[in-house]
Amino acid sequence: MKKTIILASAVAALMLTSCGFGKSATTNTTESTTTTTTQATASDAAMMGKNAGSALDYLAAQYKSSGKIDMTNMMNVAQMLNLVGAAQQVYNNKSSQEYRQGFIKGMIANSINIDELNAGTITDSLNEMMEETQVDKLQSAMQKGQATATEVQNVANSVTNIISLFKK
């Protein structure tokens, strides 16, 4: 029961992020709206970065303790979905330097493993992960409870590679 609730929450979080939650609003021509939109974008980016940093730290701890990321563990799956949601948002906004900077600041602020030296490389790796991930297939597999689906395993492999970039 508890695992089902966690999985449902994680899927809902991923769906919200993939459906546009956290994306910047359209900028109107008035200066006050532009300022508000810019602040919202920076705030959203920082929040997504914090989510990514937290998820990566959790998954890194699991990886270090067992030598792998166990995708039958629902907490690992939930953290993976949080990471994918955050990575998708940074990927969707990859042309915005402001968004990238906010995302990196959020990751650094919420991770013991990420610092100024590796944050840019980790963000690039998250972008590459999203280029290789078919989020629709991932969501479908998670909704059906197929935690060993190919897309999930591809993301787990990407996360393992990202963990190797962490500061020592």
pLDDT confidence of residue 150: 72
Is residue 33 situated within a structural domain?
A: yes
Q: Within the chain, how many helices (H) and strands (E) appear?
A: 7, 0
Q: How far apart are CA 139 and CA 159, in angstroms?
A: 17
* Least confident range of 4-13, 66-75, 146-155: 4-13
Cα separations (Å) of 63 from 66, 68, 69, 70? 5, 5, 5, 8
Is residue 32 situated within a structural domain?
A: yes
Tens-place pLDDT, residues 35-44: 445 565 878 9
Is residue 135 situated within a structural domain?
A: yes
| Number of independent structural domains in the chain | 1
Is residue 168 situated within a structural domain?
A: no
Q: Is the pLDDT of residue 113 over 60?
A: yes
Q: How far apart are CA 106 and CA 74, in angstroms?
A: 25
pLDDT confidence of residue 34: 45
List the domain range (segments joined by +) for residue 138.
Answer: 2-163
Tens-place pLDDT, residues 94-103: 999 999 999 9
Is residue 13 situated within a structural domain?
A: yes
pLDDT confidence of residue 98: 94
What residue ranges in 28-109 does DSSP mark as E strands?
none
* Structure tokens that stand for 75 in this block: 């907490």
Tens-place pLDDT, residues 115-134: 999 999 999 999 998 888 77
